[in-house]
Structure formats: structure tokens, C-alpha cells
A and B are shown apart, each in its own frame.
Chain A
């Protein structure tokens, strides 16, 4: 139906492609390249909208609340959280895995979909990558502050020292340090490399000296020459290749924190693939949570189209089903494996004192994404937004269920306990959203949140062989 609109508006004669070969365009309404630049750069260049402030102020307050809680925690002791014996990890590691899981969508979208030539990624990859970085930043905080003596946390790095003491290379926590820092570094590089052409665009459009200098500095002298483009695309491809294994490795390694231990409910070989699927699931959930409102507020419906939303919903459906399968398989193996401790751990998950958390998780993660079998559900953005929130909640609960229900009742019944969070637990977690949103809002206010050059590249106008392409495109 969009096709007719395009042909009517176009001043150029268009040779109709046979309907069956027609691909749904990635940018609707046959928007020109200039419109794309204006629309995306406009978010950065225009006057700060009221809604930005309305979102920014509470986010910053939340961020400071998070920092305040951390200062209180560090100055007083880990006991200000509700952690106890036997539950040595609770919200801290739950939040860590939650945020690191969210950080998975960005790299998946930018690297894996890039290698798979999924052109629809271009509208969402920049924002998703930024989200990844900020989520990794939030994730990095929790394992850091959860240690008892944070001032010695640098001992986790293999630094040469006079005592010749090295970290313990058998510990999954050490693997975490390497995995997460590698992932953060590569993601940052990948994001930055992708930004360079757009930074140059911003530089060229800048009206003040300050902006020109700042964007120019980071644009690294980009001139858009062929050599630049050639090098850029090689670098981008290489980084995409580098990032792809990381998508799988980071959450696999995070899952080793649990799988390598011998706590019933943790000690499971299914964890690496199950965690990766869950991470992609939660990451896409968060991408939708952010972009569904933003596309409306920033009037980007033509660039982030309903088709994009629908495709992401399909990913959620697929990964959500994998996660649901994993939940079922865990139970099957707990029974089939014949280990009474394991079986108890899973029974206790579903019917023990934390059963509310378990069933909240099942509802959010297994049942709600199944609605995406229906096209209406995938294409109604309000509905999608609501389900994406459910996915976020469900995935937080998944980590909570895995960590807390397994720990609170393990081998020796005399040592069973119960965990309840304190206000510090809650406010630190809530505050971490403030940090995340603050970073994201700053990002969208100062950097093009959609990869301008890449979106242009997937428009018909960019294709010299397309009737709209090349010089025929008009005012670029």
C-alpha cells in the first residue's frame, strides 16, 4: 500500500517492479536522502524538547540516588544489602546479569545481522549499540560494588606484583572480568567506528564553532572519500567479525558463574545456550522498550517502521521460545538425572517460598512472547511496548530465580534461609536505570541516534541501478 504513495509522490517515472519481487521498503514514504539527514540530525540540532528535560531530570536524580547508595554501601559494608547466609549473591548479581543480558542486543544487531546482510538492522543498530554500552556500564557497576573490599577489586586483574600472586585462573569470576571488559571494549570500538561518517555529517552541518570543533575532533578528519569509505567498511566488517563470537561468549561465560559451581540449580550444562538466548531475548525487549516510544516522539516512524518492530518481535518470539524450552528441559533433567538435591532445587523453585518469582518469570518470559505468533500483536506498537516491558521484568526475575532460589535452599537443610531486599538493594537497582537513561538521553541529544549513512545506504535512492537511485535522486 505504501507503494502507491511512492509512485504518486515521485516526480520521476518509476518502472514498476513485479509485485511478487517487491521488497517492503526500509524507509517509508519514499523519503529522500536529505530528509533522512535532516530528520535524524534535527533531533540533535534542534531546540531541546520539553520531554527530554522531563525524562532527563528524573534520570539524573535516579543516577545520583544510585551513586549515593553505592557510597553508603562502600562506606558502611555489604551488609546494608539484604544479602545473608546462605544467600551470598542476590540483587547484585541479578542486576549484573540483567544488565549484561540487555547489552546483548546491540552487538547482535550490529554484528550478526550485519554479517547476515539483514539490511533492516540499519535503523536500529546505533541506538541498540549505545544501549549496549550503557547497559554494560550499568552491569559493570554491580560486580564491582558487590565485593566486600572494593578497594582491592583490582586484584582481579592479572597485574605483575612483587608477591608474585596471580589471580585464580580457574575462577569464572575472573573469566567474567575478561569477558565483560573485552565485550565492552569491542562494543565501544564498533560503535565509535560506525559513528565516524555520521560525526562528519554532524560536523559539516554544525552552525557553531564549538560543535564544529567537537564533532570534527571525533570525526577524525573524515572526508567521505572513496579510500575512507573503503577502509571504513573493511574496519567495520572486521569488527563485526570480532564482535560476533563475543555475542555468544559473554553470556556463556556469565552463565559459567553458575554452571561451573556445584549449587543444585546452578550446576547445569544447558546454561550457556540458554543464557545467550535469554540475553538476546532481553536485549530485544529493551530495544523495543526504548525505540517504540522514541520513534513516535522523534517522528521517526518512516525510518523505524512497523516492519522493524515486527521483525524484532519475531526475534523475541524465537528466543522466548528457546528460553521456555530451556525452563522445561531443566525440570526434565532434574527428574531424569536422578539427583535428589537437583530435583529438590527445581521443585523448590516452582513451589517453594519463592514460587511467586518463578511464576512471574514464566508468565513474562514464556507466555507473553507467545502472543507474537499473531500478526496483530506484532504490529500494534502499544501492545508491543507492553510486552517488551513484560520481557524486561521477566528476564530480571529469571536471574533472580536462578540465583536466589538456588542459594537459599541447597544441600544442608539446617542452613536454609530466606532473602529479602533492603531499601538499599531496591534504590541501587532503580537508580541504575537512572544512570542508564541519563547516558541514553545524553547520547540521543548529542549524537545521531540512527546511523544516517547506513540508512541512506539501504534506500532505493542509494542504489544507482534503482530507478530512484544515483543522480536521479534529486536534491542530495
Chain B
């Protein structure tokens, strides 16, 4: 469905045409007209936004968005309606553009879907050599930021709006001034970027203005990986891990699946090593040492709780065992090291960004000793940097050495270490120009603020972690006239052509080398990457001297205690470092471990909570969890927040996630969480020791989407150890209730069995989710939300369990009483399981038979459909759904402000009038409404209140693919959609490839092959619902030599205590469980 982007402008040759006498005379008015970024009218697009105006600009941007023809835009009035249809434009057919989302250390290559000029859905670029089409949840949700009504919409000087021209001219003035001073007193503070163009401009500025300074700052910085590699190998380099090649992985506080950068790639690599088809297949093994329960920890085969400050000690012991082959006392470490050593060349040790350089150096040394370099890790060249840190800049500012400071991205006034006292020292610069996406805390104290363009509205480039150049291509003209960092730098550098498109193309020219530039450029934009230009891994010798130095630095840290707690700072799974605070999808995305939404919390272990006499109630009162509100004090700095007791935390450790508690943010982020940056100092960005925790006597209302975390011995997630699986591959089937007591079958014959003619023999849709490869990363949840126009409902509504996610991830803790010496500590070292739960598309759907109005029905292709227009909202279907995957619109979430949902239109006459006049508009503010509707997928109905909704298996995609195939088939009649043509949004976004959707009627389909695996089972199959969505049982791979080895997973043990060991009994061979597909069942002859 990909289309070639429109051709690029040809360079001007031949006779010169002029459009007016002004043009010919190059009059100042004409010059100004040409220089305006946007045609007349566009730059007045500030606020209030009028709908008509908006649509005009959207349409204009549709034509011009991909071109960057800022000077040559047609006057807008000739664009609507399309008096001349663009050549390759078909109305209603979406277009896909290749672009990339820049990240701190790379970029995620994307394919973005655009409808009538509106980008509406983000997908991974499957064509990219390193990608499978998966993305992370940040990328999926980033499209919502584009349409955020609270984003920066104006250029300001001293807090007052100025025009773009004035602001941009000022940059030119600065540049001219620098030419005379040589850059003295000029500094740039930039966030991290891999943009090749920005690097070129950075070097250009350094060259032109040798005395100017460049500083880099990220609140959560992953640069330590590069630093460690560079030191360890003595040349600028960075490590790239290949988890797919690792058989044994040791993580030292590295949440590589969750909060490390590029985690989506790690998910894929890790899942690759977890994917098994037959019992003889090998499975990787993951050891994790960490202070906080993370996604990585929840996927571990063995997990050791240690305070963050104790990780270095553990690393040192590991180093002793692995490098020096010494005996280590602690059995966990000794046995793990043995396992690593036994897998030379297939082992991998990773350290987390939170850990100091010495731990990373030791990890590098271990990897070197294990022969990992060149096998499970490649060393990639990194550009040498001469950048200063935020601390260096603070020194300069305090010394009065900074006249002009340009801040590109970042929000130091909010996130800078508390000891720097940034808001005060920033004022020491004479002039501060701040470029950012929001008018945030830093913008408020800066002289100038420039609104940044979203990456979907700007030209740029980036280099992925694997070293490929990818374009950042706009799909829409900047909605609020924003500017990119490239343009700012180009103007500072004093370039003649500061148009970012030209800058990026110029960079491309340098990188692409010889050849037909136009064709290469077109291919670059079309493919979304520069093929054959990837950086090659380097080979370097490990500098063993660093190991000694690193070891010396590691001293025995005092263990934290009740009075000396340790506060660990975490990157938030939802709002990152605070940049996504105003993104409703991410705010309402449950934290994968705590399942908390709209807040951060003070997480502590159950034991610590007991000792400090803290609690969060097991049961909510009035639908709300009431948690103790506590105050943490470290070095005189205090914050307050709600307590969350989290199993699996190291004792006396407090985990707080960063990014909440913003003072200057939009409607969504306002009043969410507390600011943990207030505790963080430049000396210890990873954790702070010596914290005290005090109850305030108040309570705080934390909201979670999952109030019960135990499986209660029910066979919902089925798992076994690898040895068990090898002995009895179909153990999962043996856990069905009907395996113990055969049921007589349903009273009513299954409609498909009764009348096979009801069924289509062309398409039968089904899905398989492999619980072994699913890591619980949440990307699918946001992808589903984006694809299916799922609204957010706000904290209050989530506290009543009314979140609308069609796809949720259930997280269960399982613990073994007595496993760690008595019940009291049973919950301290839990095992964690994740399960994506969505509509199972039961063939005998319990929801269908109870709907009194026939609003939910089955189609001939096996889909359980929901006719929203027919639904009256009795909620009976939801009550009768055993999986509880139907969601009800209790309010008009799409059309009402979330804080005023319970306000009746009857309450005010004006509102009543509006209700009568424009019932379709709802009561949300006009600007929000205008933007909110732009992100909607036009192929999916936006549901009103009172209507039940649920997963449709992305029926719009199914129908789209079927129509396309019908057109293609023509007279041949081959209307079966070929395998791989399309997939659902969740399966598409899944970086691990754990979700597989396909056609069961196609015997060769991947989904059929997966369903034939012995691990395949259906949840609650005994109800004879015959779900079309089945799961593959999870297989753990523990090491029998480890001290925390269990001969069966804890959840299986819990099940066995209730129902007997499924490894012993035998499933009755003659019964057709609900596991198989219909197709299979029929092949076997059915009942």
C-alpha cells in the first residue's frame, strides 16, 4: 500500500519566470512574502483555532507536507476543492510515508499512515534491514503529541507572543554577532540526538565560532554505555547487544526490555531466544540482579534482589568468578557465573544506565572474557564528542561566562539535578533561547521560547543504533508553525539556506556519496533508510587496565536499612523523563508492573512496608485505593507521594519514577504524581542513599487497572519448566477443567457444526499469542488505542474500572509459601507472568446469545462483531463474557472534558442549548475538539456513550485487505487474502512477534502452524466458548544448580496444589478440546 512520495523540486534552469512585477523587482514586500514559512493565513494560525481554517491548512499541508517547498507554495484558495486532483491521490485511500522517530541514542524507522493529509497511525518500517515492523509504546503514542492542544503554539519573547519572523531574525542577529566575537559567551545546551545534519551543523558552528561551547544534557541519559565502551576499547565506540544470539544473559540492573533505550529491539532479540517450536528447541536463560521489579526482572528465569548500591559489589564478584575464575561464596553468583562460562561466545552481560561507569567497565571485561564481542555484542563506531555536561555549563553560568544560551529541547528547569539550582543559575545568562515542544518550566524562565515542530512535521535525519541513516520526513506542515533544531542551528551557523529540507539533503549528499543524487534521495525517502551505508562494527582490543581501575573504585557500600533507605530513580514506563506527561494514551497506559495509571508512586517491598508500618488497602473504599501518603527526605530535600507495596523490590529500597509532578504542563498532565527530580543530585543520578521515610498521616488515592494480582491457582496462564515441557509437551492441555471431568458438550449444537454452510471457506480469522515471547511491553495496547479510536477516560474513571482499552495486559504475581522460609516473606520474591487479554472471538460466544437486540453477532469468517449502531447498552454481554474484555462507554468520553464527565447538560441553560444545537460536538473546549478529531482513524467508528465496544480483530484492516484482494483477483476469483498481506494493529506493533494473526482456512498460515504446537491452549476452554484466540504456554528455563531453583513454576505449583500435577495425569486423547481451530476439529471429525 506504500506509495512513492511526490517528486522533489527540480533545480531552476532555463528561462526565468516571474509571477508579478514585484517578483521581478525583488521588492521587499515580495521578499517577505517569499520568506514567510507559510502562505498568508497560515502563520496567523495561532489561536483560537477555527475549524474551517484548520481544514484549509490541513489540506494545504497534504499537498505540500512531503515537499518542504516553503517558498513555492500555492496560494491556499486554489487547493480546496481539488480542482485538479494530484496524480497519484485516491480519496479515502491512506498513504504511507517512511520516516523515523528520533530517540536519544538512535531512531525508530517508521511507516506512518496518512489520511487526507493527517498522519493517524504509526507503524514500524518493516523494510528496514533491522526491523520487523514492531515499535515501542512511546513511538505508538507519539502521534497523539502532534495533535496536543497544549503544545507550544507561539514564539515568545519575555512571555509575550512575537511573530516567527522576529524570532527567526533574532537568530540571524545572534549569528552575525558571533561572527565578531568568535563565539565567546555563546553556549548551546542540547538534548541527545543522532541526527547527522545536526552533527554537521554542530561541527560547523564549532568551526566558525571556535569559542562557542556545546553542552549535552538528558535527564535520563544512556551515554554511559558509549563512555564505557570508549574507555574499555580506547576508541570512540558504543556497544550494540544482540540478544537473539545470547544463550545466557546476565543483567546487572539493566532493564533492557523496558526502560533502556532501544528496548523494543531488545524485546525482539530476547524473544527470538525464547521462541520454541518443538520440545527439543533450545531456550535462552536470563539472570537478573536488580533493586526494583522491572519488566526485565519479570521475564527473568532467576532474579536476585539487591539494592542499587550493592550491584557494583555483585558485579565485582561476578568479575572475580568470570575473569579471574575465583571461587565466589554466594551460590547464586557462583552458579550463574558457571553457567555464563559454560556458554562462551553465547553469553551476554549487560549493565543498566543507572549504574556507574565502573560497573559497565566490569561488564565489558566480563563480556570480553566470555568472548561476547563480535558475537553477542558488536562494537559500533561512535562519533567522538567534545561536549560538556550540564554541570560544566552550570560552572560557566555561575562564572558569568555565558552571555547567550540556546537550549535545544530538554527541560532543565524541571529536571536538572536539584543541587544545581538550575532555575536560578539559568538567569545568569543574559539571554536564553529555549526551543521545546511545550511551554514548560524552562520556557517560563527563558527570554525567548521557540515552539518545536513535531518529528512528523519536520525535516531531519537520524542514525539508528545499527548505524543506518534514516530520514525524518514530514507528513504535515507544522500545525503551529513550529521550528526544528536543525533550522535554529542553521541560522546560528549563518547558512544561506536555512531550510531544514535543504540542510538534510545537503547532509544526505555528503553521506550518500557519488551517484544520481535525485534518484538516491527519492529512494531514501521512499524506503526510509539509506541502504548499503550502514556503519560496520569495529574490532578493537580490550584494554585490560581499566578493569583494575574499575575494581578500585568499587567500595563496599553500606547496606541500606530502615533508617537509611535508598531511593532509586527510574525512567517511567509511561511518561519517560516527563516529556510525555501530557500524552493521555501514555498517562492511561498501565505501568507494566504496578499497573498504576496517571501517577507515579513510592514503591517499597512488602517487608519494608511492614517494618515502616505502611499499608495500601487490599480493598478500595468507595472504589478508591487509599494509600498512605509519605514523605521521603534525602539530604534535606523532601517529596511526598502515595506508597505502593511492590513485591520483588529490594528491601529498604524505594523506587520512584521520574517525570511526574510537573508545574507547567497541559490539561492532561496537570496534577499527576510528584516530582522525584527534587531528590536527585548531580552526584548520584541513579539513586540516593540515606533517605528517611515518614508517614504524613494523610492518604493518597492511587489508581490501578488491576486490583488483584494472583491467579488463585486457576489455569489462566499456563507455564512449565523446560524439562517438564520436554517430558510432557502437551501439559497445558492437561490443565483444562474438562481434562478432569469431561463435559457432555453444549445443549445447543454449535451453529457451525449444524450448518457448515454458514462458514466461509475462504477466510477464518484466528490469533495466537505466544506467552513465551510476550514480555509485556505495552506496545500493543497503545497501538490498539491508536488504531481503534479508543478514548482515554481519566484517573477518576479508571479508579472505577472504566478504562476503555480493548487490549489489556494482565499481570500476575505468583509466590510459593514457604519457598523463602515461611509465609511472611512469600510475596518478596514473586514470579511474574504477563498475558495480553483481548476479545477471544469465541465461536460459541456467550456475549452473543444474551444481547437482546442482536447488536453483537457472528460473521461467517469467525469474527465476533459489534454493531455499535444497534447497541442499546444493557451490558449483559459484558457480564456474560468470561474474559471480561468488553468495554462500556459509561460517559461520552470522546466529547466531554474528563474532569467534567458527571456534569449534566441540564445543569446550565447554555450547555443545554449547545446540546440541542450541536449534539455531535460535545462540551470539550473548541481547540481541543478541533485537534482531537484529527487523530481519529476514519475507518473506525467513534463510539458514543451508552455503547459497548471491544476488540474487532481490526475488522477495518480485514475488510481493506479483502477489498484490495478482490480488486486484484478480478475474474480469477482468487479472493483469499494471501498470508502476510496485513495484520492487526497489536500484532503489527509487537516487537517480539508474540502476537500472530491470520487465516485459519489457509492450511499454510503461520497461525495454523502455531495452533498445532502442543503448548497451544485456550483460556477457560471448559466453558466450550471455543475461542479463536489461543495462547501458547510459557516455558521457563531455570538452572537446577541455582539456589532459587523450583522444579516447577510457582503458578503451576499453585495450580497443582488445587488440581493435581498436570505433568502426571493424561489428557483424554479422544476429546476435542476447544484448543484446536474449527478447521482442525473438522479434520479430526469433530465430536
Contacts and interface: CB of A to CB of B under 8 A. Distances in A.
Contact of B883 (A147, A173, A411): A411
A86 B802 CA distance: 9
Main secondary structure of the interface of B (DSSP, over half): loop
Nearest to B915: A75
Interface string A77-101: 1111011111111000000000000
Interface string A330-356: 000000001111001000000001000
A75 B801 contact: no
A262 B904 contact: no
B701 to A, nearest CB: 14
A181 interface: no
Interface string B857-879: 00000000000001111111011
A88 B875 contact: yes
Interface string B679-723: 000000000000000000000000000111111111010000000
Interface string B422-459: 00000000000000000000000000000000000000
Interface in B881-934: 882-884, 887-892, 901-906, 915
Given A78-B873, A84-B623, A156 B853 contact: yes
A340 B1059 contact: yes
B905 A76 contact: yes
Contacts of B620: 418, 420
A339 B1020 CA distance: 12
Contact of A413 (B812, B851, B1023): B812
A86 B878 contact: yes
Contact of B946 (A87, A148, A170, A341): A148
Contact of B874 (A76, A147, A261): A147
Most chain B Cβ neighbours within 10 Å, of A149, A166, A413? A413
Given A79-B890, A84-B802, A173 B876 contact: yes
Interface string A142-163: 0000111110110110000000
Contacts of B708: 409, 413-414, 416
Contact of A85 (B848, B888, B1058): B888
B913 to A, nearest CB: 14
Contacts of A88: 875-876, 878-879, 888
B802 A79 contact: yes
B873 A148 contact: yes
Contacts of B892: 77
A420 B800 CA distance: 9
B421 interface: no
A412 B884 contact: yes
Contact of B902 (A71, A80, A339): A80
A270 B761 CA distance: 42
Nearest to B741: A338
Contacts of A420: 620-623
Given A75-B905, A77-B945, A413-B714, A146 B874 contact: yes
B852 A174 contact: yes
Nearest to A154: B872
Contact of B888 (A148, A341, A413): A148
B711 A413 contact: yes
B850 A167 contact: no
A82 B623 contact: yes
A86 B850 CA distance: 16
B852 A167 contact: yes
B947 interface: yes
Given A168-B853, A168-B854, A414-B812, A85 B872 contact: no
Contact of B891 (A76, A150, A152, A344): A76
A167 B853 contact: yes
A296 interface: no
A171 B741 CA distance: 29
A306 interface: no
A171 B850 contact: yes
A72 interface: yes
A206 interface: no
A247 B892 CA distance: 40
Interface in B71-128: none
Contacts of A149: 871-873, 944-947
A449 B811 CA distance: 61
B837 interface: yes
Contacts of A116: none
A415 B622 CA distance: 17
Nearest to A92: B875
Contacts of B872: 147-150, 152-153, 155-156
B850 A260 contact: yes
Given A148-B889, A262-B1023, A171 B876 contact: yes
Given A411-B883, A412-B884, A173 B802 contact: no
B1021 to A, nearest CB: 12
Contacts of B902: 76, 79-80
Contact of A173 (B803, B874, B946): B874
Interface string B1003-1019: 00000000000000001
Contacts of A174: 852
A146 B887 CA distance: 16
Contacts of B854: 165-168
Contacts of B882: 262, 410-412
Contact of B849 (A170, A339, A412): A170
A145 B621 CA distance: 26
Interface in B777-803: 797, 800-803
B965 interface: no
B395 interface: no
Contact of B904 (A75, A177, A340): A75
Most chain A Cβ neighbours within 10 Å, of B619, B621, B904? B904
Nearest to B946: A148
Most chain A Cβ neighbours within 10 Å, of B712, B797, B890, B891? B890
A172 interface: yes
B810 A415 contact: yes
Contacts of B874: 146-148, 173
A72 B871 contact: no
A339 B892 CA distance: 39
B891 A77 contact: yes
B846 interface: yes
Contacts of A418: 619-620, 623, 707
B420 interface: no
Contact of A77 (B713, B714, B946): B946
A262 to B, nearest CB: 5
B873 A147 contact: yes
A85 B853 contact: no
A172 B874 CA distance: 12
A155 B846 CA distance: 21
A473 B835 CA distance: 84
B879 A407 contact: yes
Given A147-B946, A167-B853, A177-B852, A79 B797 contact: yes
B570 to A, nearest CB: 23
Contacts of B947: 148-149
Contacts of B901: 76-77, 79
Given A85-B801, A412-B837, A353 B619 contact: yes
A417 interface: yes
For the complex of A and B, 5 pairs with smallest distance between CB atoms: A148-B873, A148-B946, A79-B890, A414-B810, A88-B875
Given A79-B902, A174-B852, 16 more contacts: A77-B889, A78-B888, A79-B800, A84-B801, A85-B802, A147-B872, A148-B872, A148-B873, A155-B872, A168-B852, A263-B880, A340-B714, A410-B882, A411-B1020, A414-B811, A418-B620
17 contacts: A83-B890, A88-B875, A165-B854, A167-B852, A168-B853, A170-B850, A171-B876, A173-B852, A261-B879, A263-B879, A340-B737, A340-B1058, A411-B882, A411-B1020, A414-B709, A414-B812, A418-B619
Interface of B: 619-623, 706-714, 716, 737, 741, 797, 800-803, 808, 810-812, 835, 837, 846, 848-854, 870-876, 878-880, 882-884, 887-892, 901-906, 915, 944-948, 1019-1020, 1023, 1058-1059
